[in-house]
Amino acid sequence: MREILGRRRRLLFRRDSRRPETTSAALAYATDWQWPVVPGAGCLARGSDRCACPDPDCAAPGAHPFDPGLLAATTDARMVRWWWTRRPHAPVLLATGGRAPCAVSLPAAAAAKALAALDALQMRLGPVLADPERWTFLVAPYSLPRLGELLYAKDFVPGSLRFHGEGGHIALPPSRTGAGPVRWERAPLPGSSTPWLPDVEAVVDVLVDTLTHTGVSAPEL
């Protein structure tokens, strides 16, 4: 199984040797899956955790839009190609919400336990992203009122659980941000069809319970 999953990751996108890997990935997300993308700010140098934006105290180094802004996110191949021709190693950011996937993220150690618990329940999951600090579970688009009702029904929601819906963004592989490289922990199946996504209700209970019992509940600044 480990060998098969590794092969899935290698075959996820057809690589064009004439383009940097991030450029090929950005084009594939936009054109094959119709996920609106925009380049991230990136870091000052490869391996650096200093954001390339003007804010010296940036809270999300490299992992946020800068120029252009998030509202420019698109699936247009010509625009995507132009952006990454100018900045071939820029992180690939997905603009979440609308018709695009939404996401739920949590600290890496708790996320690994939550993923094991979801697998034990034989829950069908969508793609899961990971960087050295946090893992991100992709889910089907949801509205803010729907999410509000879901969370209102809970006694407690840990502050380290983050929801990425309308107006949000997440970094996609093979981006590198101030937190480190972004990879697939649970890769989509290769091919041109859009990855299947679970409803947010299917995963949030386990994520909340895992965070509550591991004590990772303080809000992160």
pLDDT at 75 exceeding the cut of 90:
yes
pTM for the complete prediction? 0.87
Q: Is the peptide bond between 101 and the residue preceding it cis, with omega within 30 degrees of 0?
A: no
Separation of alpha carbons 56 and 160, rounded Å? 24
Separation of alpha carbons 76 and 71, rounded Å? 14
pLDDT (tens digit per residue) in 137-161:
999 999 988 898 998 888 888 989 9
Q: Please list, in sequence order, all residues whose beta carbon lies within 8 angstroms of the beta carbon of residue 62, skipping any fewer than 6 positions away.
A: 40, 41, 42, 43, 49, 51, 52, 91, 176, 177, 178
pLDDT (tens digit per residue) in 172-204:
999 999 999 999 999 987 765 889 999 999 999
Question: For all residues of the chain together, what is the average pLDDT?
Answer: 88
% of the chain at pLDDT higher than 90: 74
Q: Residue 192: what are its φ and ψ, rounded to 5°?
A: -95, -10
The per-residue b/e assignment along 167-201, b for 16 or more CB within 10 angstroms, e otherwise, is ebbbbbbbbbbbbeebebbbbbeeeeeeeebbebe
The reported pLDDT for the residue numbered 221 is 29
